[in-house]
Amino acid sequence: MKITNIQAPAVRAANEAGQTTVKETGDTFQKAMSEAMSKVNEAQLESDRMTEKLVTGEADNLHEVMIAAEKGSIYMQTATEVRNKAVEAYKEMMRMQV
């Protein structure tokens, strides 16, 4: 009895067409996650800078400071939810019986 690899249809089709490999797909995912984390970090740093400017009196517009703070908060909440879903998916895969 021959046992074959289990692959998603999209990955299998891409491999057959010679477009991408699983490693390349993993590298692409890693790059996307790294860029997303950089954006979260930038939003948090911008929020901190704007808040510091408001406290020191350099910023006059409270609305811009609040918008920057909310952007940072939303980015962080989104990153946390993505992490939670990834951990949940990993745990689910570990519970699977082969």
pTM over 0.95: no
- Neighbour count for residue 33 (Cβ, 10 Å): 14
* pLDDT tens-digit readout, 26-76: 788 888 889 999 999 999 999 999 999 999 999 888 999 999 999 999 999
**pLDDT per residue over 65-94, tens digit each?**
999 999 999 999 999 999 999 999 999 999
- Maximum CA extent, the chain: 75
pLDDT at 29: 81
DSSP letter at 61 equals -
User: DSSP class of residue 38?
Assistant: H
> What pLDDT score does 26 carry?
72
